[in-house]
Amino acid sequence: MGTSLMTAVGASDWRMLAARAAARLRAIAQHVSWYVSAMMGDDAYRKYREHHESQHRDDDSAEPMLTEKQFWRDQTDRQDTNPQGRCC
């Protein structure tokens, strides 16, 4: 039993397994990043923009879409005047 495990399995098999493991770890990291970002509300402006574009597309009487800076200022002001339970 003098052969090493790497010789028995083959170096190319190890590289393939390592590449699969690395790809899986990258996918997991992306999912965790997305989840934390969503929980923290980082995607709030994107959601607002998508909603505004879909609901007020042909509505001339609708308010103009806020810029990202205006949106976050408004968000902060609303949270300050109407505090609700939040983690931070």
Alpha-carbon distance of 62 to 65, in angstroms, equals 9
Taking the chain (88 residues) in consecutive chunks of 10 residues, what is each chunk's mean pLDDT?
59 90 97 91 90 82 88 92 72
- 13's tokens: 């098999």
Beta carbons of 33 and 21 less than 8 angstroms apart: no
User: Residues, the chain, total?
Assistant: 88
Q: Which amino acid is at 5?
A: L
Domain boundaries, the chain: 9-42, 43-82
pTM for this model (two decimals): 0.56
Q: Which amino acid is at 82?
A: N
